[in-house]
Amino acid sequence: MPEGDTVWRTAQRLHQALSGQPLTGCDIRVPRFAEVDLAGQVVLETTSRGKHILTRFEQVTLHTHLRMDGAWHIYRAGSPWRSPAFEARVVLATSSWQAVGFRLGNVDVVARADEHTLVGHLGPDLLGPDWSSEEAVRRIRSQPDRPIGEALLDQRNLAGIGNLYKAELCFLLGVHLDTPVREVGVLVQLVHKAHRLLSANKQRAEQTTTGDTRRDQRLWVYRRAGQPCRRCRTPIASATLPTASDRARDSSQQSAVGSPSQARVSYWCPTCQPPVD
């Protein structure tokens, strides 16, 4: 799933291409909104809120979420698409540009006054004007027994961190992913580091947490299972860890053993990030 900086950059590209222009065409290929036609309406702005994209018109907002493999492409009017047409879920056209949302995980059209029903649950946005490290820390600390890796992914705590930054942040601060929040003595520093990293990477097509932009040198641990740690040479470990929803289902005996549907692969260095006893 794209990280918050990738979503921020996508929203900026949509904003630059569409804002201030009336739509000459609109095709929303989602059954619930198939009859919505925004042609003729002026795009006021496109902005991001965590991992959500909001394209605003005078009365309504088009909300999209990329989920695992969604993407927005922007083409000059009349140019061929790089992805197959059957994967397109939203097409917005102006006289100069065409923005096509492929494989989008979520598409909604709501009244401007109802945006909160879609994004009101989110914590402070790491790349937004509402960013507050103090509020993010407060929210994370409100569940002291929760594993820190899980808490960082919870968009209700702070909006914008995905699996990549979860792994890299915990490595940089020397924290094991399963460490309970109450045991993380560097939580404030971790949250500040998250803000700095996403801010530094928001203009880049590829994220780097090492400071090295070479393709095979950009990251410390993410997707480097079995490779030597860049600090201590210990092989990087990986495991599929359950999410909060999986734990809840397991505790109520409603899920099959060994089938965490929302689990994600986690990465860490066993030496640099020792587990808490």
Residue 231: its H or E element: none
Question: Can you say how many angstroms the Cα of residue 121 is from the centroid of all Cα atoms in its chain?
Answer: 15
User: Catalytic amino acids?
Assistant: 2-3, 51, 264
User: Are 152 and 126 in contact, with CB atoms under 8 Å apart?
Assistant: no
For residue 73, give both structure tokens.
């492409």
User: Are 50 and 160 in contact, with CB atoms under 8 Å apart?
Assistant: yes
For residue 12, give both structure tokens.
């900026």
Alpha-helix residue ranges (DSSP H) falling in 19-162: 116-119, 133-141, 148-153
Phi/psi for 58 (5° steps) reads -60, -40
- With a CB cutoff of 8 Å and minimum separation 6, the contacts of 121 are 155, 156
Q: What share of the chain is helix, strand, coil (3-state, %, to 5)?
A: 30, 20, 50
Beta strands in 57-198 (DSSP E): 60-65, 71-76, 88-93, 97-102, 106-111
Question: Which residue from 56, 55, 59 is spatially nearest to 74, judged by alpha carbons?
Answer: 55
